[in-house]
Every structure is written in C-alpha cells, then in structure tokens.
Amino acid sequence: MEKRLIVLMLVLAVALVGITGCDKSSSEPEAVNEFDLVSAVGDQYYTNYTTASGEGVNVRITAVFDILTDGDTSNDPFIIDCRQPADYNDKHIIGAVNITPGNLVSKIEDGTIPKDRKILNVCYTGQSASAATALLNMLGYEAQNLLFGMCGVDTSISGSDKWVKQIATDERAGQMVSDESVATETYDFPTLNTGEATAEEIMKARFSSYIGSGWGAISANDVWDNPDDYFIINYWPADKYINPGHIPGAYQFTPKSSLKTTEKLNLLPTDKKVVVYCYTGQTSAQVVTYLKILGYDAYSLLYGVNGFDTNATSKYSVPTGDYSAILE
C-alpha cells in the first residue's frame, strides 16, 4: 500500500511538471527576429520597386491632372498632402487631406487612409512625401509619390519655390570621379527591439520613432565637404556610376538589386552615417525610409544630383502647364 502511494505521488508530480511547463510555454510568446521580418518585406519591395499593382512609384503632375479631370471620380486617388497646415491652406489639390508625416501612422491606424484606393502623396519637393510613399507601399497600400511635389505644380504657391531656389550652379563641376570605390568590410545587421510581433507593426513603430525628428535629409555641401564622415551610396546603375561619375568615395548600389540582405545590405555600417543619393532625391528618400526602419542612421541627399550639377539627368524644370483646375 505504501509503495502504491509513493508511485501515485511520483506520477502526480510528473504530471504537474508537464502542466506547468505547458502553461509557461503558452504564456510566453516565441521571440521573433524583428530585423528578419522587416527585411523580408524590403527584399521584395525594393526588388520590384512598384506599387502593389505594378505601377511606377513616382508620378508626374501631367498624369495626375489627366486622372482628376477625366470626369470619372472612381479612379481618383486618395490624396495626402504632407505639407505644413499653413501652406496646405494657402492652396492644395482639390480633395487632398492634410496629414503630416508625424501623423501618418495614427491616420493609418484610425482608418483615415483607405487601403482599397490608390494613394497619392504630395509635399513641397517630392522628398518628404517619398517617406510616406515608402512606408505605405511596404504596408501593402497602393501608394505613389508626386514627382517634385507642389514645386512641379505651381511655384507661386506658398513654399513651392524650393526647387527653383536650390537649382545647382555647378559649384561641383568637374569634381565627380569615375574610379570605383569597393566596400569590403561586412557588418552585423542592426537589432530591432520594438516589442512588436509582425512586420507591419514593427515598421509602423520604427517609422513613428524617428519621423518626429525629420524624414532624414542632408545637404550636398555637407557631404561634399566632409565625405569621410559618411558611407556614401550612389544609387545608380553601374554604367552611370562611371559616366557621368560619382561623388568621390561613393559606393555603387544598383537599384532593384543591391539592397537585398543577400546582396550588399551587410556592407552598410551601423556605426556611421549612411548617405544615399539618386538623381532627384525622390528615390533616395524612399530608400532611406527603409534603412531607417531597419535601424541604420541613414540620410537622403537633398535634391539628388540636381542639387550640385546642372547637367544631371531627370532634371527639375519649372512647370509650364496650367493646373489651376485641380487646385483650391
């Protein structure tokens, strides 16, 4: 009898340990690698670099004007105007909703921004709106960026002469080089600790954590005058990197390829500022949004090559069309 009692007590003890173990495992969610979740989204998006339906990410005002004046409101985009309220109130595209980048995530979460309509992001120059465009597309929205922003619509609107004021005077003429800089040192990827469990929530948390201090811009003069302070990415095809050349010390990263975790992403230092530049600053601003979300100290070169070379391709030009019919 005593033996049977001892055996029964041992069985109960084992059962209790099993139950306790089950309770522990069910109450503590399995840890996730936040960087892996977000980079999986980025690997796909920055390879395709299109909206969800395959359209281009940057759109010109001529195409927007045609859509808004075709008499069919069913294809009109939901327009987010990222400018400051005073400038929005001065004049904006009819129907645009004023949502600054700092309020973007809250407007996503409260349903203000619809997921069943195309989104058009508008700012002053097309660069800060690019940050919104990048986040929304990575979250599964159908988002586009108005190329050159309101500067491409009407330069008389408050704040819409920024491109005109910055047009390069070739202060760096003849200083671009064609010799190749090769990055060989690799780095561990950043560690993200938002506490969120899905890529969507992690991206929103990361965007919210940095956007209050700005979307990540740096002037051409800062980079040219202090190139050793930065890891500089020339975000052009390889042939353009050689001709017309690049900022001395810049590394060539091929669009739609090099940013993958399996390609050159591990070449980016985590202890140095990373500067990305393209032709106009629109694409680089979108790339930098992703890099900031991933945990890099990244910056987009304002206005791209347009900021220091008048011979740049994809040049800004003062709008010549009359778009007053879509403004209020």
- Separation between Cα atoms, residue 35 and residue 228, nearest integer Å: 28
pLDDT surpasses 90 at 166? no
State mean pLDDT over 32-50. Answer: 96
Which residues fall within 8 angstroms of residue 273, CB to CB, at 6 or more apart?
Answer: 218, 229, 230, 231, 297, 298, 299
**How confident is the model at residue 27, as a pLDDT?**
55
- How do the domains of the chain map onto residue ranges? 34-168, 199-307
Q: State the average pLDDT over residues 106-132.
A: 96
Q: Which band of pLDDT confidence, cut at 50, 70 and 90, is reported for residue 29?
A: low
Under CATH, to which class is 199-307 assigned?
alpha beta
Is the pLDDT at 119 greater than 50? The verdict is yes
Is pLDDT at 159 greater than 90 in this prediction?
yes
Phi, psi of 8 (to 5 degrees): -60, -40
The rounded percent of the chain whose pLDDT value lies above 90 is: 80
**What pLDDT is attached to residue 80?**
98
> What pLDDT shows up at residue 17?
41
Do 34-168 and 199-307 share a fold?
A: yes
Query: Taking the model in full, what pTM does it have?
Result: 0.89
Q: In terms of pLDDT, which residue wins out, 17 or 71? A: 71
Locate tokens 């969610």: which residue? 29
Residue, of 40 and 53, whose pLDDT is higher: 40
Residue 160 has pLDDT above 80, yes or no: yes
Residue 14 has pLDDT above 80, yes or no: no
pLDDT value at residue 270: 96
Contact in structure between 75 and 67 (CB atoms under 8 Å)? yes
Q: HEC profile for 233-272?
A: EECCCHHHHHCCCECCCCEECCCCCCCCCCCCHHHCCCCC
pLDDT tens readout for residues 57-104:
999 999 999 999 999 999 999 999 999 999 999 999 999 999 999 999
Q: Residues 197-231: pLDDT tens digits?
A: 999 999 999 999 999 888 899 999 999 999 999 99
Q: CA–CA separation, 259 vs 268, rounded Å?
A: 10
Do the beta carbons of residue 273 and residue 298 sit within 8 Å?
A: yes
Share of the chain above pLDDT 70, in %: 90
Residue 328 has pLDDT above 60, yes or no: yes
* Measured torsion, CA atoms of residues 286, 291, 294, 295, in degrees rounded to the nearest 10: -130
- Quick one: tokens of 126? 């097309």
Structure-block tokens of residue 200: 């969507």
Using the predicted structure, report yes or no on whether residue 10 has a pLDDT greater than 70: no
Mean pLDDT of 160-170: 84
pLDDT tens digits for 233-265? 999 999 999 998 999 999 999 999 999 999 999
Q: Is the pLDDT of residue 168 over 90?
A: no
Average pLDDT value over all residues in the chain: 90
Q: Which helix (H) or strand (E) holds 58?
A: strand 58-59
- pLDDT tens, position by position, 144-157: 999 999 999 999 99
CATH ID of 34-168, from 3.30.1360.40, 1.10.10.10, 3.40.980.10, 3.40.250.10: 3.40.250.10
Whether 15 has a pLDDT exceeding 50, the answer reads no
